[in-house]
Structure 1
Amino acid sequence: MNIKSDKAESQKSAGGGVVQKKLVPFGGYYTSKIPGHDPELTETGPGTPMGEYMRAFWHPVCMSIELTDTPRFLKILCEELVAFRDGSGRVGVLHAHCVHRGASLEYGAIQEHGIKCCYHGMVFDVDGTCLHVPFPNGEEKEAEKYACSIQQGAYKAVERNGLVFAYMGPPDKEPPFPEWEGDFTVAPGDELVAYSNFQHCNWLQVQDNAADNYHPTALHAGKNVVNGKYQGTTFDEVGAKSMEVAPDMHFVPVQQGRSLACAGARRVDKDRLFVRVQHQVLPNLSLHAYTSEDGSKKKLFSRFHIIRWTVPVDDENSKMIGWRVMGPGIDTRGICDKSLVGYETIDFLEGQVAMRRPERFGEYKLEDLPPIPPNHRERANYKDAQYAPGDYEAIISQRPIAVHALENPTKFDAGLFLFRKMLRDAVRGTNPAASADNFAQWFRANAGAPNSYCSGNVFDIPEGETVEQEVANRRNVTKRIVAILTESEMLKGEERATFVREKFDALEASVKG
């Protein structure tokens, strides 16, 4: 992966030429002119390259608890929508503006079947069919004829474990709903707990953060907090503080360039090595292994802990929406808090969301939650955020749309730059396997349930006798882990888990010598 070449390409697409810099003390004048953003990757409205690519996939658009007795206004992929559950229990996702005269259906009345516009009483079904037109008595035939001539824009929607998903692409190209590894859970007793966190910035910089496996070394290290002023579990979240250790990273495009395996090795102590593999899937899905691993004992092929999509709202706002996997199968330390996982709240890393918790919500109603100020500097907890910034602050402060032409990457940024390149290849068609049509075929070939590379592993591998040997061991382990996971691609379920664990055991033995 040539970071410089992809950066130059970003600069060209963003502003038509490479930015020249003068390395001069107090030379702010020479860097004060801000080039444009990268439209190919960041803009997602109808008709844009990335917008059309994203519309070929299923995306979560809201939580089920957001569907109450009134419609829920949404903005997704720059489109204004309303979501609702009608009296028969069906979920609808419709264009917000009534096809008759443009009044918003967010003020509509939910019916037993469909939704009624407040302005003139048109009723639309969840598929957009006009069910009723309020013509005067005696004009029923004319009303029926008019109803057959109009249709409200609608998208197919399904519910899964507290989330509402919509497919916003061409109806005749609808892909299978992706049930990764069957239903996104692996261990018995594990539960998918839905959450949704608003992000006041472009979708890509939120997704970039998931592929940036180096930032916890600084951002989540308690030693870097101003005057020790931090709260909750934001910092030193790994019990052995291994997240403060700079990882050796190995990034590999897998599944024919449809996804990226991000394997990072960190030393827990002199006897154990923690290797966490995150899985980034085009265009906007990421699967994360256990975030609270203390590395206290050997553990092989621990699986999903966070499953999340980064969904564009518009070009300057997005949602982090998905599931926190909870239960004894994954939360081996028993420290997750289900009551803190939901709408605009999460139980891990205080700084992940716009609102830092003033209290523990427990059971709550949406209307009881405090509003999120549109300007993050107007938040009541702004000073706390300055003392102990989290992912939210680091991500949104890159500007509403990060300017790629101004970045100066290092080798530890390789993961996010590689993922950006994979996105470009998919959008441009230079990787046919990652095209929307081939992605859908791949899902069908896997019965909608492909395997994930996501895993957390603690090996009983002692520290190398020299720095050089230790570095070589860590890099060797990460490469071989990804190779083993690739080798297991044709296996499923427990058969795959057994195969991988046996191979990991052999890997451990070979490194120990």
Structure 2
Amino acid sequence: MTIKSDKLEGQKSSGGAAATVKKLVPYGGYYVNKVPGHDPELTETGPGTPMGEYMRAFWHPVCMSIELTDTPRFLKILNEELVAFRDGSGRVGLLHAHCAHRGASLEYGAIQERGIMCCYHGMVFDVDGACLHVPFPQGEEKEAEKYACSIRQGAYKAVERHGLVFAYMGPPENEPPFPEWEGDYTVMPGDELVAYSNFQHCNWLQVQDNAADNFHPTALHAAKNVVKGQFQGTTFDEVGAASMEVAPDMHFQPVQQGRSLACAGARRVNKDRLFVRVQHQVLPNLSLHAYTSEDGSNKKLFSRFHIIRWTVPVDDENSKMIGWRVMGPGIDTRGVGKKELVGYESIDFLDGQVAMRRPERFGDYSIEDIVPIPANHRERANYKQAQYAPGDYEAIISQRPIAVHSLENPTRFDAGVFLFRKMLRDALRGSNPAASAQHFAEWFRENAGAPNSFCSGNVFEIPEGATVEEEVVRRRKVTKQIVAILAESETLKGEARAAFVRERFEALEQSMKP
């Protein structure tokens, strides 16, 4: 590779500054010490912003069901201050935090049999925002009724699924079907969806970018890179899946009319077996992941979901990773998962995935016992431990509160990250009508709210190529064929689709043998 003395960056900052020239010289920090603005089109999600309005057209998880106790739960989602609660009748409400009467926060309200009562003056609001009670003096009941009909608390529709609370925050007349991917998700008998929620002290997009970054395990999760053997739970070595440390040969393919991205990565387990993991990134913020602890020791075709996760903006500098881990013998064939460690601010397979680390995040605690992690991650007591063995959390949040895209210098293996960003822009700008909120909703309806996912984990008995060149061709052919087969199966559902895919995968395996 030839390195030139000057490099034209060719990207403009959000402030409209002209393209700048980077001087690549020794000790040249002075020439690159100006930090341009972030990319507002993709990163900002408040009301009225392009990404904020697009995201509001989809259902998102906003909290875990266990967060709804006998007191209201204050939340910030998409830059809006909200209060979630479950009233005495069992209904879930998600209301604007500030009372429509005089602005006191409903986080200090009293949950009623029906609705919630503001602490300040006793106004009671139903889960749909209707004012149920106004405490006017005796004899002024008609005036109270008239006043109640004149106000309405901001409210969003909320539903519960498998320990998560989901909300639709867009125009009520445009509400899309709830996305039950593959019919309430694909979980084998004996397996279950276990909810979790992890706070991230940075913009939502760099968290989502990480899901499409299939190369980072090679460095970040490799035991050989952990300082002084300070294992922290992020390394795949500890669960015996050393194959995840092999740099994958990647194929990134927009699928489902550009509504999602298939990320197929081929890793050589040994001379006889090839591990191919297909992750599925769906606009705007959903990612579906195959088994993370795969060691490749046994043949496996079309293994399904292991992680289903949304990256939900809190505000422009904070976000949540919230979703489900699939637990049980059907997916976790090696039995290394720990259900008791999956939950609020906790996940079992990557200690560095979240802000809390051992021993702080383990043991018996309630939601109220959680001590907030300082926004400045360097203030944490376990900061040095994180330096010895950083995890996804450290790598992601250290990109700045909002990553500056114009300062990035991508390589070929970053293709998935940049392709997904392009797909987001195409959706926002109308360049891909199929990915618009309206057509997305229509697509969900056409699929009865249960579209297929390309997510799969596969171990093929495919021998290594005789030469490096032959091996590269072999790996790339396999990844492309896998995505093509999954695309062919789109018209099928359930077991019929699974049988079709496995039959075609078997044929692909046989075609690659001498």
Same fold, judged at TM 0.5 (above)? yes
Q: 1:233 to 1:364 in 2, by over 3 A?
A: same
How do 1:2-81 residues align onto structure 2 when only pairs under 5 Å count?
11=12, 13=14, 15-81=16-82
Structure 2: where are the runs of 5+ without partners? Answer: 1-7
**After alignment, is 414-423 or 12-21 more displaced?**
12-21
After superposition, what is the alpha-carbon deviation per residue over 1:301-351, rounded to whole angstroms, capped at 9, x for unaligned?
Answer: 000000000000000000000000011110101110000000000001110
Verify the 8 A CA contact 1:220 1:237 in the aligned structure 2: no
| 3-state SS of 2:12 partner | helix
Alignment partner, residue 236 of structure 1? 237
Verify the 8 A CA contact 1:194 1:341 in the aligned structure 2: yes
- Give, in whole Å, the separation in 2 of the partners of 1:98 and 1:357: 40
Verify the 8 A CA contact 2:14 2:37 in the aligned structure 1: no
Q: 1:19 to 1:235 in 2, by over 3 A?
A: farther
After superposition, what is the alpha-carbon deviation per residue over 1:78-119, rounded to whole angstroms, capped at 9, x for unaligned?
Answer: 000000000000000000000000000000000000000000
Alignment partner, residue 100 of structure 1? 101
| 3-state SS of 1:145 partner | helix
Verify the 8 A CA contact 1:339 1:363 in the aligned structure 2: no
After superposition, what is the alpha-carbon deviation per residue over 1:172-225, rounded to whole angstroms, capped at 9, x for unaligned?
Answer: 000000000011133112100000000000000000000000000000000011
Shift of 1:374: 1.9
Amino acid across the alignment from 1:239: G
- Give, in whole Å, the separation in 2 of the partners of 1:25 and 1:8: 18
Q: 1:375 to 1:12 in 2, by over 3 A?
A: closer
- Give, in whole Å, the separation in 2 of the partners of 1:216 and 1:120: 54
Q: 1:102 to 1:466 in 2, by over 3 A?
A: same
Alignment partner, residue 377 of structure 1? 378
Count of residue pairs the alignment pairs up: 507
Alignment partner, residue 421 of structure 2? 420
Alignment partner, residue 268 of structure 1? 269
| 3-state SS of 1:159 partner | strand
Q: 1:12 to 1:231 in 2, by over 3 A?
A: closer
Alignment partner, residue 115 of structure 1? 116
Amino acid across the alignment from 2:321: M
Verify the 8 A CA contact 2:95 2:127 in the aligned structure 1: yes
Alignment partner, residue 207 of structure 1? 208
- Give, in whole Å, the separation in 2 of the partners of 1:146 and 1:8: 60
Shift of 1:359: 5.3
Q: 1:447 to 1:200 in 2, by over 3 A?
A: same
Q: 1:115 to 1:278 in 2, by over 3 A?
A: same
- Give, in whole Å, the separation in 2 of the partners of 1:160 and 1:246: 36
Q: 1:15 to 1:201 in 2, by over 3 A?
A: farther
Verify the 8 A CA contact 2:187 2:326 in the aligned structure 1: no
How do 1:402-413 residues align onto structure 2 when only pairs under 5 Å count?
402-413=403-414
**After alignment, is 434-443 or 23-32 more displaced?**
23-32
- Give, in whole Å, the separation in 1 of the partners of 2:186 and 2:501: 17
Q: 1:266 to 1:499 in 2, by over 3 A?
A: same
Sequence identity of aligned pairs in percent? 85
Shift of 1:230: 1.2
Alignment partner, residue 135 of structure 2? 134
Q: 1:484 to 1:362 in 2, by over 3 A?
A: farther
Alignment partner, residue 4 of structure 1? none
- Give, in whole Å, the separation in 2 of the partners of 1:238 and 1:248: 22
What RMSD, in angstroms, separates the aligned Cα atoms of the two structures?
1.3
- Give, in whole Å, the separation in 1 of the partners of 2:20 and 2:403: 15
After superposition, what is the alpha-carbon deviation per residue over 1:364-420, rounded to whole angstroms, capped at 9, x for unaligned?
Answer: 311223331221111111000000000000000000000000000000000000000
- Give, in whole Å, the separation in 2 of the partners of 1:14 and 1:423: 21
Shift of 1:10: 5.9
Verify the 8 A CA contact 2:241 2:293 in the aligned structure 1: no
Q: 1:452 to 1:100 in 2, by over 3 A?
A: same
Alignment partner, residue 3 of structure 1? none
- Give, in whole Å, the separation in 1 of the partners of 2:432 and 2:183: 27
Verify the 8 A CA contact 1:75 1:313 in the aligned structure 2: yes
- Give, in whole Å, the separation in 2 of the partners of 1:373 and 1:306: 27
Alignment partner, residue 5 of structure 2? none
- Give, in whole Å, the separation in 2 of the partners of 1:115 and 1:278: 41
Alignment partner, residue 196 of structure 2? 195
| 3-state SS of 1:489 partner | helix
| TM-score, normalised relative to structure 1 | 0.97
- Give, in whole Å, the separation in 2 of the partners of 1:17 and 1:75: 36
| 3-state SS of 1:21 partner | strand
Alignment partner, residue 491 of structure 2? 490
How do 1:329-368 residues align onto structure 2 when only pairs under 5 Å count?
329-358=330-359, 361=362, 363-368=364-369
- Give, in whole Å, the separation in 1 of the partners of 2:496 and 2:481: 19
- Give, in whole Å, the separation in 1 of the partners of 2:240 and 2:474: 23
**After alignment, is 358-367 or 181-190 more displaced?**
358-367
Structure 1: where are the runs of 5+ without partners? Answer: 1-6
Verify the 8 A CA contact 1:264 1:478 in the aligned structure 2: yes
Verify the 8 A CA contact 1:350 1:390 in the aligned structure 2: yes
How do 1:500-511 residues align onto structure 2 when only pairs under 5 Å count?
500-511=501-512
Amino acid across the alignment from 2:243: S
Amino acid across the alignment from 1:389: P
Shift of 1:20: 1.8
| 3-state SS of 1:61 partner | strand
| 3-state SS of 2:508 partner | helix
